[in-house]
């Protein structure tokens, strides 16, 4: 899916209709908005359009419609909330349109939906859009599975929550990489005790044609009882799996709390480190100011002589010509000028600076007396030229240090950025440490919950074991009864065939899973290397993708967790391309992308996204973290959310120079 155009009308804080056109050439679409202006609402708009699930959050009590537009309507009238998304998928252009009309009531809380329309259109050969005849929700889910929506429509502030949702993620990954086709085929063929599968139907039909009994039950009744028991066992296994998944989440959170509480003892060390870093940052800023002063002095002291050298070089031939003409015309004047000054210096043997003349200086003065009058203009100009030549040479040497000054400043700025990143991570850590008391209470609650969950899991396991024992014994009796039956011979060939097909499908699916997991892991690793700032990690030794396709959970907070999640999201896109899947293009839309990343991590993310994703949309307030890259306007298109009242947001093209960083 590549999104081309979006229209949003009266959705949440968006007043009236705003439109935006997205590029599909790899450039980032950067959308800037102040806090509370509508960045999160814009992300929620896509979830509402695609899945009818805007995910406002438990504490958000604002209505779906725009309050300002609602208040402009009279009682009994309707306010329209609508959206349109034009997108291209596998060479076909689509238009997704949704509209709700809300009846205006005396009390805004009593507003109700009067009508809803939801339609997908497909562009035809005539250039017009024609209604899609199938199920719209199912079609959208095949293009961008809802299980992946939290990744591709990502809230940067909720990164931790999505890491632990492995079941939905596995289903979505299977759909994207074509593994769901194997799953559906395996489920369709099924098992002999799965009533509505191919094998189940054959076994049911076989049992229905048999007349003998087992334990006073007909073969058909026994077959049905075993099938029901099988389904009960499978259902209980699924419930046990859910309990185990929750236990894993609780254990992961418990481990994180233990790490945090363990670090609480070193709070003083963290504060001391931050203080030392701040001192170092201040010193480096002072060094930068000092170097900038040196650059200023270098400029003002050297520039006049560099300018003089340039002019002298440009006009040297003209000056030489003028000099010979001047000497010829005024030769008689020079001859009559006095040599009193140099003769007086030679006679007193004292230089004008007060130093006694040495033999070489006296000889030099005598030479000058012989060739030029001491009171002449030429003498004074000659002295100036001699001094200027030296100053020009010094200026040229000094100017060579300019690049060195700039290099020192760049190095110091990088060191400052690195220290600021460390401080931010440590401040986040301190913030968590301040909640240590609450964490102790949470830890105690988690402990109780794990104990309860383990008891429930043990209950399921005991029941499953007992029912499984009955199932296996009954199944054994049924198999023995069927073995010698003539009726069973009629079905045995067909059953054997589908058993073999089932075996082959499972084997091929297992091979594909291993291949895809390997490619995905390598792609995530490659992106991780580009994003991470943790030089002490050996990424080649890390398994990023777990067996269930979930992301490793080594880091559950802070900037490194964000790096892990972004590595996975971008890695999925790269893996789809590496596996040459048809559906290998999906937009990556992130709200608050730099919520947990430091400056360096943010810059890495901003430069890496366009290299993989054909379409990236970032909604952010915090542009200071990428301010170095904002000069490279070929990296992004820029839009601004304007919303002075926080109820009348509009989305417009913007100028990055108008934003104060």
CATH number for the domain that contains residue 76: 3.40.50.300
Query: In 3D, which of 525, 519, 528, 604 has the Cα closest to residue 561?
Result: 528
Which domain does 289 fall in, by range? 271-414
Name the β-bridge partners of 353: none
Q: d(Cα 193, Cα 204) in Å, to the nearest integer?
A: 9
Q: Does residue 447 belong to any structural domain of this protein?
A: no
User: Three-state SS for 232?
Assistant: helix
pTM: 0.64
At 121, is the secondary structure helix, strand, or coil?
Answer: strand
**Distance, CA of 582 to CA of 589 (rounded, Å):** 21
> In terms of C-beta density within 10 A (0-12 exposed, 13-18 middle, 19 or more buried), how is residue 522 classed?
middle
In the structure encoding, which two tokens stand for residue 600, read together?
């360096």
pLDDT of residue 385: 59
The residue among 218, 215, 225, 240 whose CA lies nearest residue 195 is 225
Using alpha carbons, select from 54, 154, 8, 50 the residue that is nearest to residue 592. Answer: 154
C-alpha span between 172 and 176 (Å, rounded): 6
Give me the half-sphere count of Cα atoms (radius 13 Å) on the Cβ side of residue 261: 15
Contact 83, 9 (CB under 8 A): yes
For residue 533 the two structure tokens come to: 């700032």
Q: Which of 374, 394, 414 is the last residue of a domain?
A: 414
Tally of structural domains, the chain: 2
Task: Say if CB 626 and CB 602 are below 8 A apart.
Answer: yes
Residue found by looking up tokens 């929750």 in the block: 246
Structural element, H or E, at residue 105? none
Domain-located, residue 639: yes
Residue 328, domain member (yes or no): yes
The C-alpha atoms of residue 529 and residue 554 are separated, in whole angstroms, by 16
- Residue 16 and residue 23: Cα distance in Å, rounded? 24
Residue 462 lies in a domain: no
> What are the distances in angstroms from CA 287 to CA 280, 282, 294, 411, 416?
10, 9, 11, 11, 11
For position 329, what pLDDT does the model report?
46
Ranges of residues in the chain whose predicted pLDDT is under 70 = 56-60, 160-167, 210-216, 259-267, 296-342, 350-355, 368-389, 391-392, 395-399, 428-429, 431-438, 482-490, 553-558
Residue with tokens 């250039």: 127
Specify if 622 maps to a domain: yes
Contact 530, 608 (CB under 8 A): yes
Q: What is the pLDDT of residue 396?
A: 67
Q: Is residue 264 part of a domain?
A: no
Query: Which residue is it, tokens 């002072």?
Result: 286
Q: Which residue, of 414, 443, 465, is where some domain finishes? A: 414
Asked if residue 77 belongs to a domain, the reply is: yes
Query: How many C-alpha atoms does 152 have within 13 Å on its Cβ side?
Result: 26
List the one residue out of 2, 14, 88, 111 whose CA is nearest residue 54.
14
Instruction: Provide the pLDDT for residue 383.
Output: 59
**Domain annotation covers residue 172:** no
How many other CB atoms sit within 10 Å of the CB of residue 434?
12
Cβ atoms of 45 and 8 closer than 8 Å: yes
pLDDT of residue 605: 92
What is the pLDDT, as a whole number, of residue 437? Answer: 64
Q: How many of the other CB atoms lie within 10 Å of CB of 135?
A: 10
pLDDT score, position 148: 79
Share of residues in the chain with pLDDT > 90 (%): 23
C-alpha 173/C-alpha 133 separation (Å) is 27
Instruction: Count the neighbouring beta carbons within 10 Å of the beta carbon of residue 510.
Output: 11
Last residue of a domain, one of 390, 414, 438: 414
What was the pLDDT predicted at 321?
A: 52
């Amino acid at each position: 899916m590549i999104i081309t155009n979006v229209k949003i009308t009266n959705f949440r804080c968006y007043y009236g209709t705003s439109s935006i056109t997205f590029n599909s050439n790899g450039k980032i679409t950067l959308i800037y908005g102040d806090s509370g202006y509508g960045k999160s609402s814009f992300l929620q708009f896509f979830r509402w359009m695609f899945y009818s699930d805007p995910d406002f959050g438990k504490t958000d009590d604002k209505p779906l419609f725009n309050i300002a537009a609602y208040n402009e309507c009279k009682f009994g009238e309707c306010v329209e909330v609508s959206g349109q998304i034009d997108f291209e998928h596998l060479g076909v252009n689509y238009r997704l349109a949704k509209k709700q009309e809300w009846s205006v009531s005396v009390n805004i809380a009593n507003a109700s939906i009067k009508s809803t329309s939801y339609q997908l259109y497909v562009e035809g050969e005539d250039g017009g859009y024609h209604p899609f005849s199938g199920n719209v929700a199912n079609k959208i889910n095949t293009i961008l599975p809802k299980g992946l929506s939290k990744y591709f429509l990502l809230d940067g502030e909720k990164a931790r929550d999505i890491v632990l949702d492995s079941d939905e993620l596995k289903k979505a990954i299977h759909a994207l990489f074509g593994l769901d086709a194997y799953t559906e085929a395996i489920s369709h063929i099924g098992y002999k005790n799965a009533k509505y599968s191919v094998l189940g139907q054959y076994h049911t039909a076989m049992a229905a044609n048999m007349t003998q009994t087992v334990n006073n039950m007909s073969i058909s009744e026994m077959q049905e009882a075993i099938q029901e028991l099988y389904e009960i066992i499978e259902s209980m296994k699924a419930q046990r799996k859910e309990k185990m998944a929750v236990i894993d989440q609780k254990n992961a959170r418990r481990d994180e709390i233990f790490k945090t509480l363990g670090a609480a003892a070193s709070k003083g060390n963290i504060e001391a480190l931050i203080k030392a870093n701040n001192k170092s940052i201040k010193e480096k800023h002072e060094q930068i100011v000092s170097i900038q002063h040196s650059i200023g002095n270098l400029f003002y002291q050297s520039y006049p002589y560099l300018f003089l050298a340039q002019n002298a070089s440009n006009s040297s031939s003209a000056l030489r010509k003028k000099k010979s003409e001047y000497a010829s015309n005024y030769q008689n004047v020079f001859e009559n000028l006095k040599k009193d000054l140099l003769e007086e210096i030679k006679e007193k043997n004292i230089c004008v600076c007060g130093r006694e003349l040495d033999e070489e200086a006296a000889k030099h003065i005598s030479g000058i007396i012989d060739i030029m009058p001491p009171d002449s203009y030429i003498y004074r100009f000659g002295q100036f030229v001699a001094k200027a030549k030296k100053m020009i040479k010094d200026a040229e040497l000094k100017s060579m240090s300019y690049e060195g000054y700039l290099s020192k400043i760049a190095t110091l700025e990088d060191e400052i950025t690195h220290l600021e990143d460390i401080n931010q991570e440590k401040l986040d850590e301190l913030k968590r440490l301040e909640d240590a008391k609450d964490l102790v209470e949470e830890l105690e609650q988690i402990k109780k919950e794990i104990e309860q969950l383990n008891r429930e899991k043990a209950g399921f396991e005991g029941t499953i074991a007992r029912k499984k024992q009955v199932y296996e014994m009954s199944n054994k009796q049924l198999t023995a009864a069927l073995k010698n039956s003539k009726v069973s011979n009629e079905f045995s060939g067909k059953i054997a065939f589908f058993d073999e097909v089932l075996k082959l499908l499972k084997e091929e699916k297992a091979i594909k899973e291993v291949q895809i997991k390997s490619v995905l892991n390598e792609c995530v690793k490659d992106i991780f290397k580009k994003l991470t700032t943790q030089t002490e990690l050996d990424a080649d030794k890390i398994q990023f993708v777990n067996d269930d396709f979930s992301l490793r959970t080594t880091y559950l907070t802070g900037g490194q967790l964000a790096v892990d999640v972004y590595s996975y999201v971008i890695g999925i896109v790269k893996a789809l391309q590496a596996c040459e899947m048809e559906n290998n293009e999906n937009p990556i839309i992130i709200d608050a992308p730099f919520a947990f990343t430091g400056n360096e991590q943010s810059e890495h993310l901003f430069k890496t996204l366009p290299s993989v994703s054909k379409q990236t949309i970032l909604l952010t307030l915090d542009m200071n973290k990428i301010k170095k890259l904002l000069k490279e306007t070929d990296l992004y298109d820029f839009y601004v959310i304007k919303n002075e009242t926080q109820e009348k947001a509009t989305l417009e093209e913007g100028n990055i120079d108008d934003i104060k960083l």
